[in-house]
Amino acid sequence: MRERLVRESIRRPSAVLVALVAALGLGVAGRVAVHAGAHVPRGGDELAALGRAVVALGAPWLAVAWTVGTVSRDRLRAAASGGAALVLGTFAWYALSTLQGVPPTGFARVALLWAAVGLAAGAVFGLGGAAFVSGSRALRTVALALLAGTLAGEALLLAGEWTGRAGRAALVIELAAAGAVLLAGARRTAPLAALALTVIVAIGAAGIEDAVRDTLRLAGWSGP
């Protein structure tokens, strides 16, 4: 038994380490995409616009928290790691934005509010990732639908608001990712139930995200 636990601990990376790496990636990736796009001679504007659109999406951040949860050894640690990844990623994003000369109007207030949202949402999605790994078939189905439905719901919500080519491209990619999630998890879930739950989650997630975005705009957030 002890040897088996040791082998598992070697195979499975530390949830804390994964959370830290995920946070750094979230904070850096978007800024790198936008910065790199601005320096590409041909098509740079389109690449930069696509980078800004992808960064403005919230569901991929939640997908990261869900993934962090899959490497945690228990659900409490999954929730803590998922929430921590999004909080640290939020602060990293705003810190890099300031260093790159983005006007820090309302920086502290908006950063703290998004961090609070990230803490709560990251904890929920971290739990979802853990449930998909170690839960019953029913729990795995719900956990998969949580991820796929959130991706699809955001894409459907923003489809009526993002009319630019780059924004539409980002939403198509996100919607395709939702379908890929369902296909990838089909063997470990009840596929038809997962699809039905994904539709329900998508509707609920779209409403929740719409409310969160409107609330943050009132607080000074100027995102799309």
Contacts of residue 22, Cβ cutoff 8 Å, sequence gap at least 6: 64, 65, 67, 68, 85, 89
Which tops the pLDDT comparison, 53 or 209? 209
Domain encompassing residue 102: 2-218
Does residue 224 or residue 217 have the better pLDDT?
Answer: 217
Structural domain contains residue 224: no
Asked if residue 89 lies in contact with residue 30, where contact means CB atoms within 8 angstroms, the answer is no
One-letter identity of residue 106: G
- Yes or no: say if 219 and 113 are a contact pair by the CB < 8 Å rule: yes
Average pLDDT over residues 25-42: 56
Q: Is residue 119 part of a domain?
A: yes
Higher-confidence position of 38 and 66: 66
What's the total number of domains in the chain? Answer: 1
What's the chain's average pLDDT? 82
Query: Is 223 contained in some domain?
Result: no
As given in the structure block, the two tokens for residue 25 are 């990636």
